[in-house]
A and B are shown apart, each in its own frame.
Chain A
């Protein structure tokens, strides 16, 4: 039982991070119908920026909590600027081009960012400084530490905040309008370019937070860390129904749980025939199964819902 509970906790922590990153993919897809493959790299840049700022500030003797808050702010600002620039430089000129063109620029941007990060931060791994003495808590035999609790709570708060922004504010209404029909939204006086820019910046700010969470949880940052995370988050977004905010959250949490429970029990369930080497196969099998029965993902893509 405690093993089961531990796997649920493992899955929830991992899933929360997937969900936050998946939101970035899904927001952009909802509005532009574009898969922003550079999003994983924005997560990486966020982690790197936060880490650099944090290390520098701790070196100057800034108190840990203040240093953490300042570096989160800095990383978010940096990533928002980056997200804005990516959209402005690589996607906006191609908005009316065939769909394949922005897909290629997305991959290009991703390679550029990876190489830039490699030049700035080097090939080595950066370890995340221990800011506070984190304690572990035992719940029914399963162990969870403060960082993991913070990740889950923060992720839930951010997702709730985003739902409020999209569904309760003028900006959110503009975003939904642009998602539904760019032309009509423009005719109604919505500044489409501005809304798209803000969407990219919002997604990038979430990415910065996710990047910081990942590097605090695993204690490392590396210029290559965004690649696999981006891929997994994209999968989560598709699983939940790309373009749908609730879908991204559900997909992220589900993917995290499937991965950890799959790893934990696939060996015992199949009598050792499949092992944890089928972890990814299992996750993608679920994805395929979902797409066969619900091609638009678990929560589908209700046009009015997407943002």
Chain B
């Protein structure tokens, strides 16, 4: 019997070993008197959003490597930052397990999670343990509306982004009949709802609101439903693994509608997946285009040389880590309880924006840039909506 079990478990053991190999072991380059500070990061490193998750991890890692190279002194001791990166599989249940593990690992702060659907359940665990959390990419309004003192984000929320998208669709693109599809995640649904509010407020009619999932690849059925309602613009609330094939299938069904997405669609992967069907699609991304920010171009050059082309949120992760470290320096302590008090007061010139938080932990005055695919590349159209996040 035991040998049967040994055989049964062998493939699993191999799988886990391979999985372990995937993470390069962090080499400690510390001398004994260095203060080791653990920074936790969580994003989907497997599954269909793994490319974006890895991008987040790389952005975080680069900020941490930079900080270690700078040699930061806190409380008179040299600090060595150590990254503990976890895979939350973009799954809310796994996210809470990962969050508890990071808490048990005694991390001083969290950069993550990537998705709103994982960030929100995990935020309660961090809050209960008093660990500051800065999400680089969660946009769902409720994340910072739970009254948690530990929750921050360096990205505009859905209310800010949805409003800009809704206004752009109705005013700049003159859309009258709009169809909406969302992927039923906290992010996709949240953004779609805010978009609908803004579009309706500006006189557009929502002719269809259909749904898919964040794992689907076939959208011909929902798109056919949408086709029957003859909209002039289709808004998709979701991520690029779905948006890309969706654009392609739109073209396949000979539908001549403008496709618009939030930040989840603004990736090189979207263009790759959609092929020439990507041409003319719109997407928004909080912040100002990277090449217009001081230090943005330099970050991109270094990042591409070290890892791969930027997918999406790597610059935001970079900023999130630097904000956290700046707060530690200001408090002259790596104790979560002490530097947490400095985070709301922080003001840092990041590579995505000037980072300041409002009383809820949202990014203050989030500018949002609209992009369009032109000749197979994302092209910045204009930067809008530098409105106060506190309005919501």
List A residues at the B interface (Cβ < 8 Å): 3, 6-7, 10-11, 13-14, 90, 93-94, 97-98, 101-102, 104-105, 107-109, 111-112, 114-116, 118-119, 123-125, 127, 130, 136, 143, 145, 214, 218-220, 222, 224-225, 227-228, 259-264, 267, 275-277, 279-280
Known contacts A3-B228, A124-B51, A222-B241, A260 near B220 by CB under 8 Å: yes
User: What are 20 residue pairs bridging A and B, where the CB atoms are less than 8 Å apart in the complex?
Assistant: A3-B227, A10-B224, A13-B220, A97-B4, A101-B5, A112-B18, A115-B15, A118-B50, A119-B18, A119-B21, A124-B269, A127-B272, A224-B48, A260-B220, A260-B224, A262-B221, A263-B221, A263-B222, A264-B224, A277-B184
Interface of A is mostly: helix
Known contacts A224-B47, A276-B221, A276-B222, A115 near B228 by CB under 8 Å: no
Please tell me if the beta carbons of A3 and B4 are within 8 angstroms of each other in the complex: no
Known contacts A94-B4, A219-B245, A219-B248, A115 near B225 by CB under 8 Å: no
Please tell me if the beta carbons of A263 and B241 are within 8 angstroms of each other in the complex: no
B221: A residues at CB distance < 8 A:
7, 10-11, 259-264, 276, 279
Please tell me if the beta carbons of A218 and B248 are within 8 angstroms of each other in the complex: yes
The chain B residue sitting closest to A134, CB to CB, is: B252
CB distance from B315 to the nearest CB of A (A): 19
Please tell me if the beta carbons of B252 and A145 are within 8 angstroms of each other in the complex: yes
A267: B residues at CB distance < 8 A:
210, 225
Q: Is residue B238 within 8 Å, beta carbon to beta carbon, of the partner chain?
A: no
B209: A residues at CB distance < 8 A:
275
Distance in angstroms between the alpha carbons of A246 and B10 in the assembled complex: 35
B184: A residues at CB distance < 8 A:
277
In order of increasing CB-CB distance, the 7 nearest A-B pairs are: A108-B11, A277-B211, A123-B50, A263-B221, A260-B221, A111-B15, A10-B220
CB distance from B20 to the nearest CB of A (A): 10
Known contacts A228-B215, A276-B222, A143 near B254 by CB under 8 Å: yes
Known contacts A127-B273, A275-B210, A218 near B11 by CB under 8 Å: no
B388: A residues at CB distance < 8 A:
none
Q: Is residue B8 within 8 Å, beta carbon to beta carbon, of the partner chain?
A: yes
Distance in angstroms between the alpha carbons of A104 and B15 in the assembled complex: 13
CB distance from A156 to the nearest CB of B (A): 20
Please tell me if the beta carbons of A125 and B241 are within 8 angstroms of each other in the complex: yes
Q: Is residue B217 within 8 Å, beta carbon to beta carbon, of the partner chain?
A: yes
Q: Is residue B213 within 8 Å, beta carbon to beta carbon, of the partner chain?
A: yes
The chain A residue sitting closest to B216, CB to CB, is: A228
With A10-B221, A108-B11, A276-B210 given, name 19 new contacts (CB 8 A): A97-B8, A101-B5, A101-B8, A104-B9, A105-B7, A111-B11, A112-B11, A115-B18, A123-B50, A218-B217, A219-B275, A220-B244, A224-B46, A259-B221, A263-B222, A264-B221, A275-B211, A279-B211, A280-B213
B222: A residues at CB distance < 8 A:
263, 276
Please tell me if the beta carbons of A105 and B8 are within 8 angstroms of each other in the complex: yes
Please tell me if the beta carbons of A118 and B218 are within 8 angstroms of each other in the complex: no
The chain B residue sitting closest to A138, CB to CB, is: B254
Distance in angstroms between the alpha carbons of A218 and B48 in the assembled complex: 15
Distance in angstroms between the alpha carbons of A10 and B249 in the assembled complex: 11
